[in-house]
Structures are given as C-alpha cells and as structure tokens.
Amino acid sequence: MTDRQVFENSISRFIAWLDRNGTAGYDPYDLWSTRYGIQARRMFYRYGKLAAPIVAPLVLADRLAPSAARIGVPKKRYATSHAHLILGYLALHSGNLSEREDWLDRAEHLAEELDQMKISGYSGDCWGYPFDWENRRGLWPRNTPLITVTPYCFEALLALYGATGNAVYLERARSVLRFAVEDLNNTQRSSGAVASSYSPLDRSLVINASAYRAFVLIKGGQLFGDEGARALGGSLIDFVLESQRPDGSWLYALEQTGDDFVDHFHTCFVLKNLIKIYEICPTDELWRTIENVIAYYETELFDNRKLPKPFAHGRGFLRYDLYGFAEAINLGVLLRDRVPHALDIALRVARKTEKHFQLPDGHFVTSVDVMGIKRKLPFIRWPQAQMFHALASLWRSLS
C-alpha cells in the first residue's frame, strides 16, 4: 500500500469519527477555566511550587479520569479547530478525494458557523477562545480576540475564496486585516522593531504572536493594497528576527519568567509564518533566519526515534504531544519545495502517527507521558483538527 493510500485510509477513519462526534469537543482547558481552576492557576503563577497542593487535584483528575472530571462540562466549538477542519476539507476537495463526498459543502457549512463565532466590538472580524483563560499576564475573559487564533480563520477564508470565487469570503478576510491593523497593541523596541500583543488586553512579547500578525499584515497588505499594513508587518518581522537566539531557537516569550522555554509546536508556529511570509516577499535575511532555525529544529526538537519532542530541554512529564506531530507534518509540507528532506520528515512523522497514535475509532491520541501512557480523550482543538489538516495537506502533496 502506498503512503497516499495509507493516509487516505487514515483520513477516512478520522472523518467517520468526526461525523459521529461532531465538531464540538472537550479541551485541555476545560477544568482550568472553572472558578477553581482559574484560582489554582493564579496561585501557581504567583507562588510557584508552593501552590502545588491547590493545583494537584485538578492535575490528577485531568490525568487519571479526564472523562469523569468533565461530567457537567459542555462540549464547545472552537474557531481554531473549525478553521483547521475547513482547510483540511479544502485540501481533500482540491485533491479530489472520493467523488461521493462534497468536501466544499462541508467547508462552507463550517464557515457559516465560524461567522457566527466571531467576536463583536472590534474594527474587524476576529476570534478567540470560548473560555476564561488565566495566564501569566492575568485573566483574559472568554471571547477575548487572539492573534494566535484569528490568522487561521483568515487563511480559511482566503482558501474558501480561492475554491469558490465567492467575494463574500474575500471581504471577510479584508475585515480580519482591519482587526490586525487596528485592535492590537504595539511595543516599540529600541532597535525600531515592533512587537505585537497577543490580544487587545496586553503588551506581551510572545514571539509567535508577532509572527502570526506579521503574516496577516503582509498577506492582507499584498491582497488589498494596504501599504501601512505591510510596513507594520515588516516591523513585526524585524522583532521576530532580532529575537532569534544565536543557536537558531526562539524562546516562547521575552518578558516573563517561566516563559523562557523552547518547545516544538511554538517553534513551528513561528517558522511556518516566516515561510509563508517568505513566499510573499522573499529576502536573503529572512531565508537565512529560516535556515538557521531549521538546523536547530531538526537537531534539538526530535528524539532518538526521530519523533517530535515537546521541549528542547526538560519540562515535565510529556514524552510526546501530538500537537507537535501535526505541526511537524504541516511544516514538512510547507518546506517540501525548498528543503529536499523536509517532506521525508513529514512522511516519517505521519507514518508513525497513523501506525501508533491513531485509535481504532479514528481519532488521535492527544499525548503520551514519560511512562508511555497514552492520553486518549479527543480534544477537538488539541490536536484532532490540526492532525486532520496536516494529513489532508500531506495527502494532497503526494498526488
């Protein structure tokens, strides 16, 4: 059986699961967004290990009995997962997977739901999380727009426009650009570079937030002739580039103790946005940055089995986080025409995923701890939708 047939079967099994389960689902933050969970996280961020007795009950409940711990917790729809599902369906549509299915209809139906999920009160269309999120920067209430969520919706809208020619999708993408220009905070750096906030509520220095926003501004500026957006995007790129460490890596963020780590999927987030930007406006400096991080990424963020490691160094009890697997596959597909072995990495990770981490009912393992115990509760946002998108994109690239 060829790789394409293996992945086609894998995708079909996942879609059968999705049709039974629906597009709403549970999430890793279900317990942490309760009143007790918010207080526990707040105490942990303030007091560190001293707050362990408060945090431990939720950690144990989530690990030992995740389904039981969610009794009474409703499943939710997530803009991130809807956007990834749309992009996955459009990959199947363009690759002509099974004439019996109308993948485009499925994608457009989800786009209607995505439109209902957008957050009002801002300059343009935007999306966030449907839960209260306590993080190191304070409490961000549910439906706070996030620049790490909104760009996936932007991409989904542009892909729908490309597939249908329907100008409604293009206008909705234009609206997203207005949000990206107007509603986020800018932090001027001494070098002249600009860092983007994560939301309208903060002035953080999270690297992937600036990379995501830069992509929307550069792509949107090109499409809609907005030179101001492109100029701001260029200043954000400067921040991302100057924040790269000599070994090629990026810390998650620059301003918060506890955020000084290097992990797999956030590295992929930064890298894939830079690759998409390079495809729009290639420069030698940008490509050198990409090459530099690829060398680090392949050396430090894969284990001796050549599978994605969650973190470059240490960081807890996870052996594998399947979110990283999905991002590694997507990254390999993005780089396949520029880095000769990139597709080989994507294929290796995808084969291992299908063989060892796809469950009989069709959904994927969420994570594996250091004891080898697999976490199987299917979080739709982490990473069921991302894995579907990754495998569909890989399948299409093999046609």
Residue 43's region, left for phi above 0, alpha for psi from -120 to 50, else beta, is alpha
Q: Which residues pair with 321 in a beta bridge?
A: 367
- Please report the pLDDT score of residue 258 as a whole number: 84
Sign of the C-alpha dihedral, residues 155, 156, 157, 162? positive
**CA distance linking residue 176 with residue 282, whole number of Å:** 24
| Cis before 145 (ω within 30) | no
- Please report the pLDDT score of residue 120 as a whole number: 96
**CA distance linking residue 11 with residue 370, whole number of Å:** 28
Report the SS3 class of residue 38: helix
- Please report the pLDDT score of residue 256 as a whole number: 73
Cα dist from 256 to 45, 142, 228, whole Å: 11, 22, 30
- Please report the pLDDT score of residue 99 as a whole number: 61
Residue 206's region, left for phi above 0, alpha for psi from -120 to 50, else beta, is beta
Which domains, from first to last, does the chain contain?
118-301 (1.50.10.20)
- Please report the pLDDT score of residue 98 as a whole number: 67
**CA distance linking residue 47 with residue 393, whole number of Å:** 43
- Residue entry with tokens 């966030």: 128
**CA distance linking residue 182 with residue 165, whole number of Å:** 27
- Please report the pLDDT score of residue 100 as a whole number: 60
- Please report the pLDDT score of residue 399 as a whole number: 79
- Please report the pLDDT score of residue 315 as a whole number: 67
* Average pLDDT along the chain, 399 residues, taken 10 residues at a time: 93 97 96 95 93 93 91 95 98 79 94 98 98 94 98 98 97 98 97 97 97 98 97 98 96 88 97 97 95 95 96 85 97 94 97 97 95 93 97 94
Q: Report residue 337: phi and psi, to 5°.
A: -90, -10
DSSP state of 50: G
